[in-house]
Amino acid sequence: SYELTQPPSLSVSPGQTATITCSGDKVGDKHTSWYQRRPGQSPVMVIYQDNKRPSGIPERFSGTNSGNTATLTISGTQAMDEAEYYCQAWDSSPLWVFGGGTKLTVL
């Protein structure tokens, strides 16, 4: 079965850049999305189709996907960005697979 691997946790200082990776075999051949989940809230999509940002999501969120790694980058990280982040890959099988999640701490 297909698997996606994320680092369990990441800590950054306010204003720094947070880079969250999502590794999977040839994930660059799939469409990836990223979801943010703050404690006690529903997941919110922050990136879809590798690098597209939904309306209402700040420009500091960006995504890339190539080879075996998809990446979510948060530039100028703010305290409100503290949350769990999940990557998700899709292909036309169809297949939906999620990573294990990364807990981002802003301190």
Partner 1 sequence: EVQLVESGGGLVQPGGSLRLSCATSGFTFDDFAMHWVRQAPGKGLEWVSGISYNSGNTLYAESVRGRFAVSRDNAKNSLFLQMNSLRGEDTAFYYCAKTPYSSSSGDHFDSWGPGTLVAVSS
- Footprint on this chain of partner 1 (rule: CB under 8 A): 31, 33, 35, 41-45, 48-49, 54, 86, 88, 90, 92, 94, 96-101
Nearest approach, Cβ of residue 107 and partner 1 (Å): 23
What is the torsion angle, in degrees rounded to the nearest 10, for the CA atoms of residue 50, residue 53, residue 59 and residue 65?
A: 0
Question: What is the C-alpha to C-alpha distance for residues 42 and 25, in angstroms, rounded to an integer?
Answer: 28
The single-letter code of the amino acid at 74 is I
Residue closer to partner 1 by CB (options 13, 94) is 94
Nearest approach, Cβ of residue 27 and partner 1 (Å): 13
Query: Is the separation of the CB atoms in 48 and 55 below 8 Å?
Result: no
Residue closer to partner 1 by CB (options 13, 91) is 91
